[in-house]
Structure 1
């Protein structure tokens, strides 16, 4: 069995916990894989790999906040990911640091018995003719060259074959239930319980626009931005792709969801970190 470990960049507590877990797993005969940054922090530079290779593991352990989890999940693809927090319950990291060793061991034992159970969290992806973007666990944003004065454009939003809105706006954000508590919330979008199968369509700084809309998760959302030099598609705040003005950008469920290992996070307990 091979376990991938990703520790939050620049966090000594995360590195220390990664070292503790590594020792225990190696003593149990488990092979380990580290991303390059974690390997360097642990003094295992020769063992570091791109996180994009983590889909070759049997389990991935993410140590840190939601950002670290998103980074690990991007490379894990369909490999189960166990999220370990550093003392503050997150929406994706249900295991506390004091419980980490026992929780990881339980998942390793369950895998060896063929009984590893996971929950699935949907991802979404954008595409145009000839291009498909990186899947996002939280949100995809389609916007003008920049936010704010003279940065937006004329935005048309379609849900399936129907037009939802058309008018001036900075852009449009499409969020999963997981991502409803992230960028979507700062744009005055609704919180969505993870048990709801839907996607949030949220216009950003729209002039006389429509309110945020929750649509069935199997609907395709199409966003077209005009009256700009170009538009930008952003996946989970990091992967950016430029498209020509007037290019329809289609957003829908990605083929591969994220598989979450370990106990499910308590949604309402995790809301406390938003205070």
Structure 2
């Protein structure tokens, strides 16, 4: 059977790859996947950064915007961090993504590397499950001017300085005062991000189809400050009241240094990330496997 997708872009994990055996292994994996997709009848291109850093020149290359405009599928080979980075960039184009796991956890890159051929083939001919994941749109405001503007698939995290004590944060939701919290920081997480840092801070697991965010304090001074789930239509504002050298992280991949009086606003992005999963995939199977829950059944 011929591929349902005509123009497939490959994205690789290369930021942590320097040289030697790791570099050669990454090259070989991408080439194997590219050849497999080509045999099914799709045209394959490599994302330009992937091709440059891995030294691959066997396939045409496109930049991210060109991929979004010209391709009808993206295949990401790496871990969840790689998928987060690609997902944020291509969401505006509506490009669906398939993840082949070359990392550790694999919550959103769910095809095992050793099984990519038997799993990918039926997906390429149209046998897959599709879901859409929401994103956060975050801004940093200073003296009423926006000084930082970005998106996050997992979370927005406000942290205290590395050498200072707690940070004091004033939190508002939809213009209404919620609380002033003293803590090591605060996490605003999507359902996708509920299995990341928020989980370590005591936040709940959220099914990815839920329309909500979770706000979770990090090591709060007052133990009654607990995680809270809000509608994803909420507009969240976090103001730095006190604390030196505070910062904000967005999916732990971009960073903004904060000053007293700065405000971080978080709301729902107009874009969603499209994921394709193997037919029969469900979220609970992923949780059970990745979190090592008891798999016994009746």
Shift of the 17–121 alpha-carbon distance from structure 1 to 2, 3 Å rule, reads same
Distance in 2, matches of 1:52 and 1:204, equals 36
Give the C-alpha shift of residue 176 in structure 1: 0.6
Give the C-alpha shift of residue 153 in structure 1: 2.1
Q: Identify which of 2, 6, 9 aligns with 1:4.
A: 9
In structure 2, list runs of 5 or more residues that go unmatched.
Answer: 1-5, 293-298
Q: Report whether the alignment pairs 1:267 with 2:283.
A: yes
Q: Which residue of 2 aligns with 1:59?
A: 73
Distance in 1, matches of 2:38 and 2:165, equals 52
Q: Identify which of 119, 125, 140 aligns with 2:156.
A: 140
Q: Which residue of 1 aligns with 2:131?
A: 119
Give the C-alpha shift of residue 64 in structure 1: 2.4
Give SS of 2:262's match: coil
Greater CA drift, 120-129 or 47-56:
47-56
Give the C-alpha shift of residue 214 in structure 1: 0.8
Shift of the 100–256 alpha-carbon distance from structure 1 to 2, 3 Å rule, reads same
Give the C-alpha shift of residue 94 in structure 1: 2.4
Q: Identify which of 202, 217, 224 aligns with 2:232.
A: 217
8 Å contact from structure 1 (residues 152, 169) kept in 2 = yes
8 Å contact from structure 1 (residues 65, 86) kept in 2 = yes
Distance in 1, matches of 2:207 and 2:42, equals 39
Q: Identify which of 264, 269, 273 aligns with 1:254.
A: 269
Give the C-alpha shift of residue 265 in structure 1: 4.7
Distance in 2, matches of 1:81 and 1:37, equals 16
How many pairs does the alignment contain? 269
Give the C-alpha shift of residue 131 in structure 1: 4.0
Shift of the 186–116 alpha-carbon distance from structure 1 to 2, 3 Å rule, reads closer
8 Å contact from structure 1 (residues 122, 253) kept in 2 = yes
Q: Identify which of 95, 100, 109 aligns with 2:116.
A: 100
Deviation digits for residues 32-79 of structure 1 (CA, Å, limit 9, x no counterpart): 123423554363299556556542332110112211211221332231
Distance in 2, matches of 1:142 and 1:36, equals 30
Shift of the 180–31 alpha-carbon distance from structure 1 to 2, 3 Å rule, reads same
* Counterparts of residues 196-235 of structure 1 (less than 5 Å): 196-208=210-222, 210-229=225-244, 231-235=246-250
Give the C-alpha shift of residue 133 in structure 1: 2.4
Give the C-alpha shift of residue 222 in structure 1: 0.9
TM-score (norm 1): 0.84
Shift of the 40–154 alpha-carbon distance from structure 1 to 2, 3 Å rule, reads closer
Greater CA drift, 46-55 or 81-90:
46-55
Q: Identify which of 50, 55, 69 aligns with 1:37.
A: 50
TM-score (norm 2): 0.78
8 Å contact from structure 1 (residues 160, 219) kept in 2 = yes
RMSD: 2.9
Distance in 2, matches of 1:265 and 1:174, equals 27
